């Protein structure tokens, strides 16, 4: 049975496509921006990632009331996506022209975020109104598919995180959704609140629940742990994978969403078996565990494990927290509690997380003199050429390099005049012994220069860098292993991630000890007199009623 008076024709596939495009927009730059910022030397990456959650904080105060009262949801969705997608395209144009300053990018991405965030709630309202009861999750899962597909497409065809083309992919999806939204089933505005009814966009009405120590401990632990969760992680993943030399970093990040599909379906079973308290406990702890795995730099297996844990960490912390709050809240405060949790976890927490990550990224790399090597053709300090693992070249892992695989299919080796590789192992190690080690003799026998984009690295530059890593005297021989080279050009990831592990572990322990299951001893149907702000009731005999 449809939730609307008259079921819209073909509502399910129409809504699935809309949700697919909705999260393809966010996914297009959520992973790639961090990698591109490092590649292009963009400043303020933490604040750039704060734009979306800032939009979540700011936009409900202005756009939500207008959308609710005056315009059909699908029309507002169309207008907002038109503006937001043009802002993303403008970001791409500025980057392509080399004019991408931090103030300009911040303004455009903030505008995009302010337009984007309200459309999630608006599209949800369309889905709930025009889909069969209980079928909304089957629509929502297409958002995850959209995130996966757009990242695979960017990795395979648009240069991954090394070019700003991901902005155009997101903008293109936004323009398409702006047009398509006009064809969605009509969802009229709700109208102004009834007399005496108050709008609680930020969930401030739920603050009275903090009189319950169990609820206060839950909110504080979930919120404080979330600061170093999603929006600390998203800008970190592609730079980390790139500096470790792993294949196709943008494509690798889709393991996050594949695991999300699995663990989200597992969530109801876990709640039934161990209860919401322990589900949230595991959700908090899993964030500390995955950062610990990422601290094991140089291990591809640990990195894949950390990526795959994302679905567990997200579902068991974020989704379970919304369910925990709903169980704990009395009927008339459920909407306010959800607004409060969204404001804290998706708004304030994510803003703080991205800004903190940006500050951590200012830490010096392991070898700043090497990382910031200035070459003759560069206008500013540049990073170093990549070096993939020779052992992966002939293994099944090579297919993770989607761009290389696609290019290999479209341009087979026998039809390619010259190798287009800019990787050290291809140019200096590949044709010799493929041992993941470069020597002075191999560099001397290799090409005179490497060109990456507009930057040309002379052989003397490469020789100087490797000699510095090996601490070899001028004119002396040297031997540099791939791991040492990658370590020299990487950030101090262990020092960046260790504080996150400790911070999250603190709230993991607090919630284990003091957290309460919301269903034990809680009255879900109605609040206590205290929470309603009422005094004790008098019984007919004139004595105070007690429980």
Report the alpha-carbon distance of residue 377 to residue 397 in Å, rounded.
34
Q: What is the mean pLDDT of residues 189-209?
A: 61
Report the alpha-carbon distance of residue 27 to residue 329 in Å, rounded.
32
Report the range out of 258-262, 322-326, 368-372, 516-520 with the highest average pLDDT.
258-262
For residue 442, the model assigns a pLDDT of 85
| Model pTM score | 0.77
| pLDDT-based confidence at residue 228 (cuts at 50, 70, 90) | very high
Residue written as token pair 């984007």: 116
For residue 131, the model assigns a pLDDT of 75
DSSP letter for each residue of 412-423: -GGG-SS-----
Report the range out of 169-178, 375-384, 399-408, 470-479 with the highest average pLDDT.
169-178
Range with the poorest average pLDDT among 179-188, 282-291, 323-332: 323-332
Number of H helices, E strands in the chain: 27, 4
Residue 122 has pLDDT above 90, yes or no: no
pLDDT of 419-438, one tens digit each?
455 667 667 765 556 778 88
What are the percentages of helix, strand and coil residues in the chain, rounded to 5? 70, 5, 30
| 73 vs 151, residue with greater confidence | 151
For residue 382, the model assigns a pLDDT of 61
| 19 vs 365, residue with greater confidence | 19
Report the alpha-carbon distance of residue 426 to residue 54 in Å, rounded.
43
Q: What is the mean pLDDT of residues 27-36?
A: 88
């Amino acid at each position: 049975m449809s939730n609307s008076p008259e079921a819209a024709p073909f509502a399910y596939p129409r809504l699935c496509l809309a949700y697919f495009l909705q999260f393809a927009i966010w996914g297009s730059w959520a992973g790639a921006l961090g990698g591109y910022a490092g590649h292009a030397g963009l400043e303020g990456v933490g604040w750039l990632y704060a734009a979306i959650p800032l939009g979540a904080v700011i936009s409900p105060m202005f756009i939500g009331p207008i959308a609710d009262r005056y315009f059909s949801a699908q029309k507002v969705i169309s207008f907002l996506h038109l503006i937001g997608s043009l802002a993303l395209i403008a970001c791409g144009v500025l980057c392509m022209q080399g004019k991408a300053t931090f103030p300009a990018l911040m303004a455009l991405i903030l505008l995009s975020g302010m337009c984007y965030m309200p459309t999630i709630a608006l599209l949800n309202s369309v889905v709930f109104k025009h889909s069969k009861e209980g079928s909304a999750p089957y629509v929502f899962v297409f958002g995850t598919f959209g995130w996966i597909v757009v990242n695979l497409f960017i990795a395979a065809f648009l240069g991954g995180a090394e070019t700003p083309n991901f902005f155009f992919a997101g903008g293109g999806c936004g323009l398409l959704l702006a047009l398509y939204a006009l064809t969605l089933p009509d969802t009229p505005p709700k109208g102004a609140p009834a007399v005496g009814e108050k709008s609680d966009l930020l969930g401030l009405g739920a603050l009275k629940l903090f009189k319950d120590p169990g609820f206060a401990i839950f909110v504080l632990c979930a919120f404080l742990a979330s600061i170093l969760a999603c929006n600390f992680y998203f800008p970190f993943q592609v730079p980390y994978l790139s500096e470790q030399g792993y294949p196709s970093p943008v494509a690798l990040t889709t393991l996050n969403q594949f695991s999300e599909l699995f663990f989200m379906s597992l969530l109801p079973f876990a709640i039934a078996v161990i209860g919401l308290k322990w589900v949230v406990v595991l959700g908090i702890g899993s964030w500390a565990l995955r950062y610990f795995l990422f601290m094991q730099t140089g291990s591809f297996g640990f990195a894949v494990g950390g990526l795959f844990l994302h679905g567990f960490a997200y579902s068991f912390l974020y989704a379970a927290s919304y369910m925990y709050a709903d169980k704990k809240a009395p009927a008339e405060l459920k909407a306010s509690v959800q607004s409060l949790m969204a404001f804290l976890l998706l708004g304030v927490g994510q803003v703080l997380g991205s800004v903190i990550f940006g500050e951590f990224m200012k830490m010096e790399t392991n070898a700043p003199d090497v990382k910031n090597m200035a070459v003759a053709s560069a206008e500013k300090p540049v990073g170093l050429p990549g070096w993939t693992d020779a052992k992966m070249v002939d293994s099944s892992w090579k297919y993770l390099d989607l761009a290389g695989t696609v290019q290999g299919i479209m341009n087979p080796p026998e039809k390619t005049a010259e190798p287009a590789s800019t990787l050290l192992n291809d140019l200096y190690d590949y044709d010799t012994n493929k041992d993941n080690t470069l020597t002075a003799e191999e560099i001397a026998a290799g090409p005179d220069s490497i060109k990456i984009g507009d930057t040309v690295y002379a052989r003397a530059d490469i020789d100087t860098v490797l000699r510095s890593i090996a601490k070899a005297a001028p004119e002396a021989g040297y031997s540099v292993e791939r791991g040492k080279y990658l370590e020299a050009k990487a950030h101090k990831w262990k020092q960046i991630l260790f504080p996150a592990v400790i911070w999250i572990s603190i709230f993991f322990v607090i919630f284990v000890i003091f957290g309460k299951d919301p269903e034990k001893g809680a009255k879900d149907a109605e609040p206590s007199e205290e929470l309603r702000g009422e005094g004790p009731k008098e019984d007919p005999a004139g004595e105070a009623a007690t429980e």
